[in-house]
Amino acid sequence: MEALRIRETAKTPEIIFDPANSIFEIKGKSVPDNAEDFYTEVLNWIDDYVANPLGETVLKINLEYFNISSSKRLLFLLYKLNELASSEKSVKVQWFYNKADEDMFEVGQDYAFMVKFPFEFIEYSLNEPTLVEAS
């Protein structure tokens, strides 16, 4: 399966989904003018991946900000990963958040409550991540 690579812009996150190297990352800001258009390619790629996944999938999400429409698309992506968890594949999200941004931590907790796989919460400040909680 070919990797999906989308470069970060001022309004959209960098996305690297590279199963050959076990890399699944979303990072940056997600405030696209049309989140549905932006995330269509991502969600289609995930559909293909779910049909033939790795034994373990670790998705790293490190978003400093995202809008409501992006939030809905991220939730759709997480629901698609639920299919892997239901088929007994190992799935985990590493949710990175700035120590000073309690809202982003709480959003991650909300997502973790809505899916069937664990979230690891990784707090960072001054570019030094620290594992603070796993659920």
CATH number (domain holding residue 19): 3.40.50
pLDDT, tens only, 39-71: 999 999 999 999 999 999 999 999 999 999 999
**Domain count within the chain:** 1
What whole-number distance in Å separates Cα of residue 55 and Cα of residue 2?
A: 17
Please tell me the number of Cα atoms within 13 Å of 62 on its side-chain side: 19
Model-level pTM? 0.90
Q: DSSP for 22-53?
A: TEEEEEEEE--S-HHHHHHHHHHHHHHHHHS-
- Count of C-beta atoms within a 10 Å radius of residue 21: 8
Domain that holds residue 111: 4-134
Amino acid making up residue 3 = A
Q: In what order do the strands lie in the sheet with 128-134?
A: 4-6, 14-18, 23-30, 56-66, 90-98, 119-125, 128-134
pLDDT, tens only, 96-113: 999 989 999 999 999 999
